[in-house]
Amino acid sequence: MTFLIRKIVSVEGAPNRHQDFEVASSRLTVGRGTDQDLLLPGDRVSLRHAEISLLGQLVEITATTSLGIVVNGRTCKSAMLSVGDQVLIGDYHLVIIERPDNEVDCAISVQQLQVQEYEGLNPDSYVTSLKNIFWLRKRAYAWILFVLLSLVCLILPVWLAQNPDIKEHSPVALPDDSLWLSGPLHRQHGFIGDNCAACHVKPFEPVQNNVCTECHEDTTHHVAADHPANILFQKETCASCHREHNEQERMVMDDQRFCVSCHGVLATALGSKAKVSNVSDFTSKHPDFRLNMLNPVLNDGDWHWQNSGRQKRTPELKEHNNLRFDHQQHLDTEGLKNETGAYEVLQCSSCHTRAADGFGMVPLTMETSCSRCHSLAFDVDNPAREVPHGPPVEVLNSLREYFSAQFIAEKMAKNESRRRPGQAEVSRLQQEGLEWVEQHTQEVAEDMFERRACITCHEVEHSPTAQTDAQRWKIRPNRLNDRWMLSSRFPHYKHRSESCGSCHAAQESTQTEDILMPRIEHCQDCHGGKDTEDKVLSMCITCHEYHQPDMSVMASDPQ
């Protein structure tokens, strides 16, 4: 199809001229875009504004922009046009004109109208961009915030930290270093409050040990100063392990990896000098418990007690406490005769009591544990009278006093002293009394020391030819071991739900020398290491302490 375009050019003061040109196309596109058949420059025209096509004799115009077109004065989307119809596109006036010949299918005249100045909308008088809002300023806000936050978060806190007087005397709360507190202090350290400088003495320097040992003056080292492994600890501070300001309030590092990093290979590293074994987990990588034995040692005629240190558990390892005691007999299920003569079944707690701190047991004594049943009476006519539980000399003196009184009482009963005795009579009575008392004393003492009372529990040595009381009978000194495990304190109170017998095989023990401490396998029945699923989780510090009680105190370290 061929469209004839007649461009009318109007020049002031002269008749209109026109230029014709033809366009061959099925549809005539109109717009300001350069690809348009009919190019109408001007910003009121869209890039693609309209399309003109032929439907038989009729001309159809369709707007391809939402602005629409104006046909004969009316705005519309599309219209059927015939000769004489007028279309307004922007400032262009289009008219369908008569075809000059049959070679042309449609003829259109185009004339640009004089743009009339109309004082309409001035886009500049409307604020249509955020950039034009006076108070909205990105950079100004950015710098204000930067300065403000630098002041509040950094500059003021630093200044106040260096001038605590100003903070103290300020009538209003100033932004200080409490804004820096990264996490809570441990509950026990709560009294320090927000006084950061209590521990952080010097800016930009990690917390030093001396601020810790100021309060914790008894805290001891883990290894001795002359221990070869000591070098490993020299670079560490208290704060390497005791981390404050963590959300999960925890001052003691309970992760066994910390211990195992050394103790897992310690024996290997120390070689033949090692007094320890490699340990890496309680389940299967922990050696059996070694026991500290309390041994009597004779030194210059005197007995001393010596701790053996940790000793391997062998069948030959026996306890030496110079006592005679049969646990099995005492725990007889049919019972034993008690002080009233009745049969009583004894329990462990009949003799043993847990110490007040809950850890160990109260040391056993004759008075608290034995004397209820084991009487030290010696006179059937006077069962309330007992010898003291003490050195043989005291026993003998007590007996002499008792029999002296008896002798006098007997003589008085026979009226022998009623008349005034002469000198010779006095000497005779004294001699008789001395002999009588000494005879009874020795008889009873021999019976008690060697046959009936003392010998039941004690090792008694008898020297019949000895001249003095002190040498005649000797009781071997005795002492019970109360520190079997040197590396750990066993918390008996945490094991209340267990019976004594479940760990201490007292029911089977007939000898005093039997060791009733449990083996590690026994603990492992209930306690498991790091990866345990069905047992009580037991890490190193469940039983052991890091700060060893017998090491030097940290407070004495040279700073």
Partner 1 sequence: MHQSFLRFADALYMKVAILLALASIVAYWAYDPLEPHNGGTWLGYTLGTVGAALIVWLTLYGLRKRSYRSRLGTVQGWLSAHVYLGVSLLIIATLHTGFQFGFNIHTLAYALMIAVIASGVWGVVMYVKYPKMVTNNRDNLTRKSIFREISELDRKASLLVEALGSPVDRMMITSIQLFRVGGGVWAQLSGRDSSQMMVPVMSGKKQVWKKVSNTGQRRMLNILAGQVARSRDPRITAVLQELSDVVSTKASLMQKLLKDVRMQGLMEFWLYIHIPLTFALLATLMAHIVSVFYYW
Place of tokens 């020299």: 234
Give the nearest distance from C-beta 209 to partner 1 in angstroms. Answer: 14
Q: Are strands 17-24 and 291-299 parallel, antiparallel or unpaired?
A: unpaired
Give the nearest distance from C-beta 71 to partner 1 in angstroms. Answer: 11
The encoded tokens of residue 129 equal 């961009």
Nearer to partner 1, 203 or 558 (CB): 203
What's the 3-state SS for 447-481? HHHHHHCHHHHECEEECCCCCCHHHHEEECCCCCC
Nearer to partner 1, 34 or 299 (CB): 34
Nearer to partner 1, 163 or 306 (CB): 163
Give the nearest distance from C-beta 258 to partner 1 in angstroms. Answer: 5
Nearer to partner 1, 176 or 319 (CB): 176
Nearer to partner 1, 198 or 429 (CB): 198
- Please name which of 510, 385, 375, 394 lies closest in space to residue 454, comparing C-alpha atoms: 375
| 172 φ, ψ (degrees, to nearest 5) | -115, 155
- Please name which of 33, 100, 523 lies closest in space to residue 289, comparing C-alpha atoms: 523
In order, the DSSP letters of 386-431 are B--SS-HHHHHHHHHHHHHHHHHHHHHHTTTTSSPP-HHHHHHHHH
Give the nearest distance from C-beta 128 to partner 1 in angstroms. Answer: 4
Nearer to partner 1, 197 or 551 (CB): 197
Kindly state the DSSP code that residue 385 receives in the 8-state scheme: -
Give the nearest distance from C-beta 116 to partner 1 in angstroms. Answer: 8
Give the nearest distance from C-beta 250 to partner 1 in angstroms. Answer: 7
Q: Are 38 and 5 in contact (CB under 8 A)?
A: yes
The encoded tokens of residue 403 equal 């029999």
Rounded distance between C-alpha atoms, residue 281 and residue 247, angstroms: 28
Nearer to partner 1, 116 or 314 (CB): 116
Nearer to partner 1, 261 or 487 (CB): 261
Do you know the residue count of the chain? Answer: 559
Place of tokens 């262009």: 92
Give the nearest distance from C-beta 284 to partner 1 in angstroms. Answer: 22
Give the nearest distance from C-beta 49 to partner 1 in angstroms. Answer: 8
Give the nearest distance from C-beta 216 to partner 1 in angstroms. Answer: 19
The encoded tokens of residue 305 equal 């007690």
- In DSSP terms, 107 is beta-bridged to 4, 97
Give the nearest distance from C-beta 89 to partner 1 in angstroms. Answer: 12
The encoded tokens of residue 478 equal 């005795």
Query: Terminus-to-terminus CA distance in the chain, angstroms?
Result: 105
The encoded tokens of residue 459 equal 């090792």
Give the three-class secondary structure for 299: strand
Nearer to partner 1, 157 or 529 (CB): 157
Give the nearest distance from C-beta 220 to partner 1 in angstroms. Answer: 21
- Please name which of 112, 88, 85, 114 lies closest in space to residue 6, comparing C-alpha atoms: 112
Give the nearest distance from C-beta 543 to partner 1 in angstroms. Answer: 19
Nearer to partner 1, 70 or 361 (CB): 70
Interface residues toward partner 1, by CB under 8 A: 31, 43-44, 46-48, 65-68, 73-75, 116, 118, 120-123, 126-131, 133, 136, 138-139, 141-150, 153-154, 157-158, 161, 177, 179-184, 196, 200, 203-207, 241, 243, 246-248, 250, 253, 255, 257-258
Q: Which residues contact 221 (CB under 8 A, 6 or more apart)?
A: 233, 547, 548, 551, 552, 553, 554
- Longest CA–CA span in the chain (Å) reads 193
Rounded distance between C-alpha atoms, residue 370 and residue 281, angstroms: 42
- Please name which of 67, 119, 116, 58 lies closest in space to residue 88, comparing C-alpha atoms: 67
Nearer to partner 1, 47 or 434 (CB): 47
Rounded distance between C-alpha atoms, residue 469 and residue 402, angstroms: 17
